[in-house]
Structure 1
Amino acid sequence: MELPILADRFKCVIYEKNELKLLDRRLYPHRTEYVVCRDVESVARAIEDMVVQGAAVIAYTAGYGLALAASMSKNMDREELRKMLLKAGERLRMTRPTGAELFHVIESSLAVGLKSIDEGRDPADEISRHVYGLMVRGEEIARKTGEHASRLLDDGDKVLTNCYAGPALVYALLYAREKGLRVKAFVPETRPYLQGARLTAPTLKEAGIETVLVPDPCAGQLIKRREVSKYITATDRVALDGSIANKVGTYLYAVVASKHDIPFYVLAYTGPDRKTYTYEDIIIEERPPKEVLTLAGMDTAPEGVKAYYPAFDIVPPKYIAGIITERGVFHPSEMKSYWG
């Protein structure tokens, strides 16, 4: 099954010859261009400046950032190299606080790198191989998650989403179509970065899925009038209490969907974060206010107007019908026992 470019992680994050090439999602779909990073600081800035978006892609980018850091420091002795790698890890951890996968990839990549230093092997090579393996594994996780999600879809379903739900949503809709089911997607614009308009809509269109772009405030009316039958998003973090964090606006749509008996399903890929016990452990990133005050390079409000932009919100488990992972579909209450 051939995936659209944004749903193919290997076309979005490319590491070769000590360079990291990142598909610039700020420009897509109007231009398909890559930002080239050659050191850890340029990688960190690419993450912070939204060159890369989406929990998995951000995480792989950070992992390769550690490989770049190691490749630039081959003349250091072991102790200096260890200190440098740990410092690079700290810099990358500071980029985006909400998504759990970023921290998982940094932690595992650091472990691989430090072990290779102790054993006299090249940490850059070892880390890059490790991250590539995570990407391969991530693709399989996305496919399985999408396959499980497709079994929840019925003929004639009209699916509302929010922001960019990643390849699992693409797989879900494609698998449904392979079964002969007619499915349609409603995609809110997702301001201020317009991920729905610029990322999700073109991706689903490229996949051949009928797609309708709507203004963000329109979703409630669609739900009330039952013009959508299911609500499906991804998540940047799942807590063990069944709460999830996702793009701001997800909570609002979930509350309205619950009121009108529209099920809300969450594509959680790998499942809950083992260290996030409740919603109170989730840090909500606050983006620069200027991102609300401009759109496509133009000012959206007069000088002197203030802005506030929490990039994520939290949905309590009572509004979630099911959390979908590579293992299957789970009730939110099952998250506390997910890892045994």
Structure 2
Amino acid sequence: MKRFDDDLAFMLRYENVAWYENGKVRILDRRMYPTKIEFVTCSTHQEVAQAIADMVTQSAGPYTAAGMGMALAAFECRDLGRKEMLDYLEKAAYTLSHARPTTANRMVLTTNGCLEAARKAMDEGRPVDEAIFMRTIDSLNRRYSTIEVVAEHLVTMFPDKGTIMTQCFGETIVGMMLRVARKREKDIKLFVPETRPYFQGARLTASVACDMGFDTTVITDNMPAFVMKRNKIDLFTSAADVICMDGHVVNKIGTYQIAISAKYHGVPYFVTGIPDKAHQTIDSVTIEERDPQLVLEARGVKNTLEGVKGYYPSFDITPPHLVSGVVTDKGIFIPYDLNRYYDTEVKEYY
């Protein structure tokens, strides 16, 4: 079977995202990578859902973990009759898809696809867990190949020898844009904000970029404006957890302030992803708030006195007037015209 993770960084290879084998799911613990390379092993689909909720994996990782978790759920109920098995898998699908509220709509697409694979396997008398596993691998292949097309459009906007600023960890698009840039011999440099409190930029984006041979500089989250002015950033880019049809972008907290700075300094901001028809307006998005204790510490080391409070909205909202373009597999759209994306057939990859 052809795989589309060839020549990518360690943490973007399928086995190092999430993997189902021998009745367990193994997930790379991105909360500590690259300081430590450790995997969280889940023996039940509920443990997979908890790992997703606990940020063991982030960005696109939860979609892979959910698919592998559905394979594990099928293993758990392998001795039940057809109706009982389907009931069990439907409950598991809800548990996994709703592990994090902001992305629940798209996670449902992943788990629904797994349910379809399960029904077909039952009809054909094949092992259901294996069918869901193979469906998840196929989904990974479709996502990687689709996002590579997105990357082709994005990299076209990179100047030769350009300097690019990222935000958080866009997972697939990070690997694919770097692979495309390398193929086109675009000698780009990256400035990577650290992305508190989990440091996904410093630990994940910077690791992938360095692993793939690019000049990579990490900056703290309060440096982007100064760096844009002093270091002549050519382009700011991020992925998105949700791109609403009205052009609002929901992404890791901090994206909004970088977009404001980019607008002020004349730096274009290109967001990558697929417009989400489930969110016609920003009003339909739930902004997840996480444990405020995480703001009071850095990688487990407490920085504040007892009695000091924290506040941790996990995402923020960037309005369309700050977005230069939405980069998709069908090209680049202005944020006010996203309905046109659906004028032609859409390639699903969840």
TM over 0.5, shorter chain = yes
For 2:272 and 2:287, how far apart are their aligned partners in 1? 19
Verify: 1:83 aligned to 2:87, yes or no. Answer: yes
**Paired position in structure 1 for 2:307:** 304
**Paired position in structure 2 for 1:195:** 200
Verify: 1:181 aligned to 2:176, yes or no. Answer: no
RMSD: 1.8
Output the amino acid matched with 2:297. T
For 1:101 and 1:209, how far apart are their aligned partners in 2? 32
Verify: 1:279 aligned to 2:282, yes or no. Answer: yes
Moved more, 87-96 or 114-123: 114-123
> What is the TM-score normalised by the length of structure 1?
0.93
Moved more, 25-34 or 189-198: 25-34
1:64 CA drift (Å): 1.4
1:263–1:321 CA contact under 8 A, matched in 2: yes
> What is the TM-score normalised by the length of structure 2?
0.91
Output the amino acid matched with 1:295. A
Verify: 1:257 aligned to 2:262, yes or no. Answer: yes
1:68 CA drift (Å): 0.8
2:8–2:179 CA contact under 8 A, matched in 1: no
Paired positions, count: 337
Output the amino acid matched with 2:62. I
- Deviation digits for residues 145-196 of structure 1, max 9, x if unmatched? 2122111111231111111122323332343344333311000110000111
1:117 CA drift (Å): 4.4
Verify: 1:72 aligned to 2:76, yes or no. Answer: yes
Verify: 1:222 aligned to 2:227, yes or no. Answer: yes
- Deviation digits for residues 183-221 of structure 1, max 9, x if unmatched? 110001100001111111111111111111111010022
Secondary structure of the 1:339 match is helix
The correspondence for 2:149, drawn from 144, 150, 160, is 144
1:118 CA drift (Å): 6.1
For 1:257 and 1:288, how far apart are their aligned partners in 2? 29
**Paired position in structure 1 for 2:319:** 316
Output the amino acid matched with 2:57. V
1:235 CA drift (Å): 0.8
Output the amino acid matched with 2:334. H
1:66 CA drift (Å): 1.4
Distance 1:121 1:181, change over 3 A: closer
Distance 1:196 1:83, change over 3 A: same
1:59 CA drift (Å): 0.8
List runs of 5+ in structure 2 lacking aligned partners: 1-5, 344-350
Q: Determine what percentage of the aligned residue pairs are the same residue.
A: 35
**Paired position in structure 1 for 2:3:** none
For 1:171 and 1:272, how far apart are their aligned partners in 2? 19
1:305 CA drift (Å): 1.3
Secondary structure of the 1:333 match is coil
1:97–1:283 CA contact under 8 A, matched in 2: yes
The correspondence for 2:337, drawn from 317, 329, 334, is 334
Secondary structure of the 1:338 match is helix
